[in-house]
Chain A
């Protein structure tokens, strides 16, 4: 059976997070990524993980970076890579996008709606991680929905052309913006993805990112293909 995953929940209110766990389970998710502040303690993250475990949901810790320049990006990556399971970079300029795309420590890159940066073939060509599309922009549109839909179609086309994995996440900032996995896949069909690609972008692709990073964060991991055997 397919395991569904939503890698981007931006819930800040603790009470809302606890309410979300029940809803997420009912919707059929097995793995969720919850955004934490970079300063959040590991103990707090473990507490949340334990709580979600009670609902049979695997929680992956995530941090969203919004660097202003190259130095800020590299220094925060150095600080936070070992702490969080998923690192996403919101690219505010094409310069940042190229650096983030080339860096192995970055799992996901996304492009905000301010159109300061654009997902281009040159970025897609060097991208090691995956492209993230946040459906919250489409569900609660700040500008015209056609403009947003056009942006997503363009991004999905470039990603498909360059064989870049696409991750579809809700990006929910409150409980009412969380969407069921099949619904998320159905929305991504609007971006001209094939049905199987759409389902993979809410299941196998995000899951493989989480699993890969967990292996890397394991204390027995040394490098690619090398690990300590007891």
Chain B
């Protein structure tokens, strides 16, 4: 019997902080996401999620993460329950979900051009 390949989802996360000049870093975001999954779904949930932070842009305040397809709804719930990043009030929301890395890169490019057009960092 052929082994079924694992499938993933790639998510574009947008980060909004209360203080526009707030210092954000990759490690803080990663630990916030990990802790949220861990609190809500436990260690087995964290393993099931196969979560990985792929891209993090400090200036534009967005990130691209990868998670297991079956875990997508749980991941959404975990992201929604994050209220703080680096002791700073923050909001993280999923702007785009894609099945391929190519698709999410396209979304990242359009997201960057949207930001340029609007002249905002949010």
On whether the beta carbons of B93 and A180 are closer than 8 Å, the reply is: yes
What residues of B have a CB within 8 angstroms of the CB of A185 in the complex?
76
8 Å CB contact of A195 from B16, B73, B89, B95:
B73
B73 contacts across to A, CB distance below 8 A: 186, 189, 195
- Say which residue of A140, A145, A176, A189 sits within 8 Å of B91 (CB atoms): A176
Q: Check B74 against A186 for contact (C-beta < 8 Å).
A: yes
Q: Is B55 an interface residue (CB 8 A)?
A: no
Residues on B with C-beta less than 8 A from A73 are none
B79 at the interface (CB under 8 A from A): yes
Partner of A182, one of B14, B18, B76, B90: B76
CA distance A187 to B93 in the complex (A): 13
Q: With a CB–CB cut-off of 8 A, which chain B residues contact A182?
A: 76, 94
- Tell me the bound Cα distance from A138 to B40 in angstroms: 12
Give the distance to chain A from B81, nearest Cβ to Cβ, in Å.
6
B 78-100 contacts with A by CB, 8 A? 79-81, 83, 89-91, 93-95
Looking at the assembled complex, report how far the CB atom of A184 sits from the nearest CB atom of chain B, in whole angstroms. Answer: 7
Which of B14, B18, B83 makes the CB contact (< 8 A) with A140? B83
A23 to B15, CA, bound (A): 12
A27 at the interface (CB under 8 A from B): yes
A 126-145 contacts with B by CB, 8 A: 135, 138-140, 145
Chain A CB within 10 A, most for which of B77, B79, B94: B77
A190 contacts the other chain (CB 8 A): yes
A-B contact pairs, 23 of them (CB 8 A): A26-B14, A27-B93, A135-B80, A139-B80, A139-B81, A176-B89, A176-B91, A179-B80, A179-B93, A180-B93, A182-B94, A183-B77, A183-B79, A183-B93, A183-B94, A184-B80, A186-B73, A186-B80, A187-B76, A187-B77, A187-B80, A189-B73, A189-B74
- Evaluate contact between B81 and A138: CB separation under 8 angstroms: yes
Known contacts A178-B91, A180-B94; A189/B77 CB under 8 A: yes
A175 at interface by CB-CB < 8 Å? yes
> Which residues 160-209 of A sit at the B interface, judged by CB distance below 8 A?
175-180, 182-187, 189-190, 195
Q: What per-residue 1/0 map shows which CB atoms of A26-46 lie under 8 Å from chain B? A: 110000000000000000000
Rounded to whole Å, the gap between the CB of B11 and the closest CB of chain A is 11
Interface residues of B (CB under 8 A from A): 14, 16, 18, 39-40, 73-74, 76-77, 79-81, 83, 89-91, 93-95
A123 to B16, CA, bound (A): 40
Tell me the nearest residue of chain B to A141, going by C-beta.
B81
Task: List, in ascending order, chain B residues with CB within 8 A of A176's CB.
Answer: 16, 18, 83, 89-91
Considering only CB atoms, which chain B residue lies closest to A138 in the complex?
B81
Q: From B16, B18, B76, B95, give the contact of A186 (CB < 8 A).
A: B76
B77 touches A186 (CB 8 A): yes
- With both beta carbons as reference points, the residue of chain A lying nearest to B120 in the complex is identified as A22
Give the nearest-CB partner of A179 in chain B.
Answer: B80
Q: A177-B91, A184-B80 are in contact. List 8 more A-B contacts (CB 8 A).
A: A135-B80, A138-B81, A140-B83, A175-B91, A186-B80, A187-B76, A187-B81, A189-B73
> Residue of A at shortest CB range from B77?
A186
Instruction: Report A6-56 residues with CB < 8 Å from chain B CB.
Output: 23, 26-27
Shortest B49–chain A CB gap in Å is 13
On chain A, the residues within 8 Å of B93 by CB distance are 27, 179-180, 183
